[in-house]
Amino acid sequence: MRKHSVRRVFLALLLLSSAFLGAGQVSAQSNRAQLVGRAVMPANTQVDGQPAGAALVAGALINGVKFPFDSQPVGTISAVLPGEYPNTWLLLFDAQLGVPEQSSDYLLRFYTAEIAFRRAQSGSGDVLLLNWQHLGDPDRRIARPVVNAETPLRYLSGADFAPLAFQRVAGGTFWVAESRTPALLRFDAFGKLLEPPVPLNGGALQGMSIYPDGSALIIAQRSMTNSRQVIFRTYDLTTRTFADLPATYTLESADHVFGGFAMINAQEAFAIEADRNENRAAAFKRVFLISLANGSKVQVADLLDIADPNGISTSNVFAPPPNAYGLGDPFRFPFAAITALYPIDEQTLLIANNNRLPYGLGRSDAEADATEFIAIRLAQPFALDPAFQRPIR
């Protein structure tokens, strides 16, 4: 793992959430969620690595982003987890520069980041990338061709897989759910694929989470017989067997997408249901508390109507893009793809957009979307299992 900072932040995650939830800063407005933190990573963020985007026209300027990249871009976030150290976060990216055919040189990685949220009265709003880990298949567990098949480490790319969700389990290994096949991929702490992919038959992948005790993954997939339904299955990590759960989730529209799926206890989860539109065309971006026991759902946040009485989104630490939409009170999160969600504490959620680099135009109609991380405080607390509240060690 490449180290770009020796800083290690030793404040507990609860201290981070306490900074968000200071007394007197919470809006009393009905059931609206309130913005309590925001950080922005620019669309053109790059780190060390091989040039990327060669499949696009050389010298092309797409929504203000020049191609090809000089090194590896950092965008298209699909999931987030607590990092190894308090106040750090693990980031997963789908590594898609539009389509797989354009993404063969965009490498799959886990990133560790420190997110310095802008809050009501402090915080830089910056995202500091501390280190990263390549994902590869040096032991040739994947039977089908991969882009870097002839290289010793066989680093995986966005042309090979499209990671949607991940979980860290006992022993420090990771399970990644990828949507292109779809399949489950198991990596060690150094990013090496440990076994052949586990196929996910039964419908398009929508998300993946885990039980609080770490015994099984929960897989969300679109029903093959009813386009408005999302079905749930468990994958037992001891027996390596699948089992269907009785509950299903019913989308408000068959055109909506289901994402940001995160268990909060053994029976309940949060999920984002959203339309595929962006910017002023976005009409439905909502967070629901759902029961995996009976399929019930309760709306807990409208991401197009978030209270921002403290002016966090319009703070002068941020440079708004041209024709910026959705900043101010109400604050809006009007992105086409929103799949990263994690509970910070019993009343606060971290949410991030997939900026669909370089094509996302959710915040501006002229400039490629940045990756935005927001912390929102819900009107009511929820029953968060302590297993999800602590940083994973």
Which residue intervals of the chain are DSSP H helices? 13-20, 386-389
**Residue from 59, 35, 27 nearest 311 by CA:** 35
Sign of CA dihedral 314, 14, 217, 127: positive
pLDDT value of position 15: 44
Q: Do 17 and 348 contact (CB within 8 A), yes or no?
A: yes
pLDDT value of position 60: 84
Rg, the chain, Cα only? 20
pLDDT value of position 336: 98
Q: How many CB atoms lie within 10 A of CB 202?
A: 16
Q: Is 239 left (phi over 0), alpha (psi -120 to 50) or beta?
A: alpha
pLDDT value of position 30: 55
CA torsion angle 154 352 5 21 (round to 10): -150
**Residues forming beta bridges with residue 229, ordered by sequence position:** 250
pLDDT tens-digit readout, 104-126: 999 999 999 999 999 999 999 99
**Residue from 377, 384, 380, 355 nearest 368 by CA:** 355
pLDDT along the chain (393 residues), means of 10: 37 45 38 96 96 89 94 97 88 96 96 96 96 97 96 97 96 96 97 98 96 97 96 98 96 96 98 98 98 96 98 98 98 98 96 98 98 98 89 40
pLDDT value of position 390: 56
Gap between the Cα atoms of 227 and 230, Å rounded: 8
The two tokens of residue 102 are: 């354009």
3-state secondary structure of 20: helix
For the chain, domains (ranges, CATH) are 32-389 (2.115.10)
Q: Do 108 and 135 contact (CB within 8 A), yes or no?
A: yes
Gap between the Cα atoms of 208 and 221, Å rounded: 9
What is the value of pTM for the model shown? 0.92
